[in-house]
Structure 1
Amino acid sequence: MDLESWVGTAELLVKEPLPAHQEARDNGVSRPGLHVARLMESRDFWDEDAQAAMGSTYLVYGQMRDRLTQALTARWGAPEFVDLGAALDRALAGEPLPPTVDHLCNVASGPAPPWRLGRRTVMVAVAWDDKELPWS
């Protein structure tokens, strides 16, 4: 997928209705209050040799996140700042979080800049569900 396709995916998801129940979708999932699109997915990291590749994979994914952030900033203006670490602390203290922030607190690594577009929030992040699984 190229950068313009990713921007198009983000714009589509902003307009798409949110489901009442979790639904699988091509390269992602939708659930109440949230659409998740996996724009890139690395290989998994089950074998020992793969451990060395994790760092360089994360760097490439971070660079792509930054490029997408720049493209969306050009289109929608500057994003806000959300400290996912502080949000996770609030969640652990029992405070409910918005669905997008709640999801990213469980999988995101590094920055996750949000744009507020009407009643929707768009966030871009590098996600990693577990140590052996692919980056997305």
Structure 2
Amino acid sequence: MDTTRSHLTAIERLCARPFPAQRCVEGRVESGPGFHLAELDAVDGLWGQDMSVVQDAREEFESELQVLVQVLTYRWGEPERTRLTGRLERVAKGEPVPEPLRTLSALVGEVYAWRVEGRWVGLGITREDDPEPPPRLQLFAAIGEEDVR
């Protein structure tokens, strides 16, 4: 897994980066008008693995997420903890959901979010409410315009 320091650096860079006029992908970052969505870390090959392997990987990601939350809470104050199920349901009904929450709601069950200098900053890991292990476990950072809801 990448280090906490590299994750924080990536988050800081995303917060400072302007939003592009057109949707684009650069490496592990998808950006578009009003948002950036970055995969900070990932583990592949979990599909069909013993559940203990999957659980160990999830625990590592949870630990890294909690460290990031602690550091960012120190910097920016207490985060909002938001379940994304409602946004996923709105997407399924064809209702508008702004990015990055539209994409993030299909991947992550819950985010820790802060409002920072006119932007919304969220962190989360791949949802675990599916009965099967995910083929890919991911740690995400999302940056959006402040009015993301």
C-alpha separation in 1, matches of 2:100 and 2:135: 21
Q: CA deviation at 1:73?
A: 0.8
Deviations along 1:53-79, one digit per CA (max 9) or x if unpaired, are 222211211121111111111111111
Residue 81, structure 1, aligned to residue 43, structure 2 = no
Q: Give the residue type in structure 1 aligned to 2:73.
A: T
Partner residue in 2 for 1:123: 122
Which structure has more strand as a fraction of its residues?
A: 2
Which structure has more helix as a fraction of its residues?
A: 1
Partner residue in 1 for 2:135: 133
Deviations along 1:32-58, one digit per CA (max 9) or x if unpaired, are 222122211112224x3x242222211
Distance 1:81 1:132, change over 3 A: closer
C-alpha separation in 1, matches of 2:26 and 2:63: 25
Identity percentage over the alignment?
Answer: 26
Say which SS state the counterpart of residue 81 (structure 2) adopts.
coil
C-alpha separation in 2, matches of 1:118 and 1:71: 17
Residues 54 and 133, structure 2, Cα contact 8 Å, conserved in 1:
no
C-alpha separation in 2, matches of 1:132 and 1:95: 26
Q: CA deviation at 1:4?
A: 2.1
Deviations along 1:73-127, one digit per CA (max 9) or x if unpaired, are 1111111232211222333344322312212111014x31111123321110113
C-alpha separation in 1, matches of 2:93 and 2:134: 29
C-alpha separation in 1, matches of 2:99 and 2:134: 25
Aligned residues: 132
Identify unmatched segments of 5+ residues in structure 1. Answer: none
Partner residue in 1 for 2:39: 38
Q: CA deviation at 1:131?
A: 5.2
Deviations along 1:12-46, one digit per CA (max 9) or x if unpaired, are 11110111222222322222222122211112224
Say which SS state the counterpart of residue 63 (structure 1) adopts.
helix
C-alpha separation in 1, matches of 2:36 and 2:20: 9
- Let me know the Cα RMSD of the aligned residues: 2.2
Say which SS state the counterpart of residue 45 (structure 1) adopts.
coil
Residues 100 and 123, structure 1, Cα contact 8 Å, conserved in 2:
no
Partner residue in 1 for 2:98: 98
